[in-house]
Amino acid sequence: MARANGLGGYASATITGAITRRYHGLLIAAQPPPLGRMVVLEDLEVDIELEDGSVANMREKGRFRDFTLNMGLPSWRYELDEVVIETSIVVPSRQNIVHFTLRSLSDGRRLRLRLRPLINFRPRGTGQPGALIGLYAYRPGQPVRG
């Protein structure tokens, strides 16, 4: 599955949602030369806090139910602890942006999730990013709404 943004960037994964190729990722951004296509958000780890207080990884413990394309928009469904969770991806046209949405398809239950972005700034298809990881840092900020 791949959704392109029209700039050369895209989101891509397997039908089960797994990342199995170097060029897979949730946000491969098209950057100006000399960078080119860069894998920036490779994956998103989704953990679910269960009613008994334990935490389960959605992809490891959940049962993959299906993959659908609805008007070209991909979505995956997983079942865990008697709850069906749908994840979907939207890649806005001509923007290096991805929206990754999770929703419950089951009535009644509130689910508490932990979303852990897995990041790696590297050229698409290459694999020597580890040396840079020690240089990564984060800075809190605020989206601008207007």
Partner 1 sequence: MRLAVEGSEGPIFTADGGSRRESFYDTEAHRGYDSRGWLWSLGYFAGEIRKDCPLTLIAATEAWHTV
CB 15 within 8 A of CB 8: no
Residue 60 belongs to what H/E stretch? helix 58-61
Applying CB under 8 A, among 2, 6, 15, 21 the residue interacting with partner 1 is: 21
- Residue 64 touching partner 1 (CB under 8 A): no
Which of residues 3 and 29 has its CB atom nearest to partner 1 in the complex?
A: 29
CB-CB contact of 86 with 103 (8 Å): yes
By the rule CB under 8 A, 104 interacts with partner 1? yes
| Least distance CB 133 / partner 1 (angstroms) | 5
Q: Does 4 bind partner 1 (CB under 8 A)?
A: no
Using rule CB under 8 A, residue 136 touches partner 1 = yes
* Interface size with partner 1, residues (CB under 8 A): 59
| Contact indicator for 106, 82 with CB cutoff of 8 Å | yes
- Residues 28 and 44 sit within 8 Å (Cβ to Cβ): no
Strands 25-31 and 2-4: unpaired
Map residue 59 onto helix, strand or coil. helix
Contact footprint for partner 1 (CB under 8 A)? 18-22, 24, 26-27, 29, 31, 38, 40-45, 47, 85, 95-122, 127, 129-130, 133, 136, 138, 140-144, 146
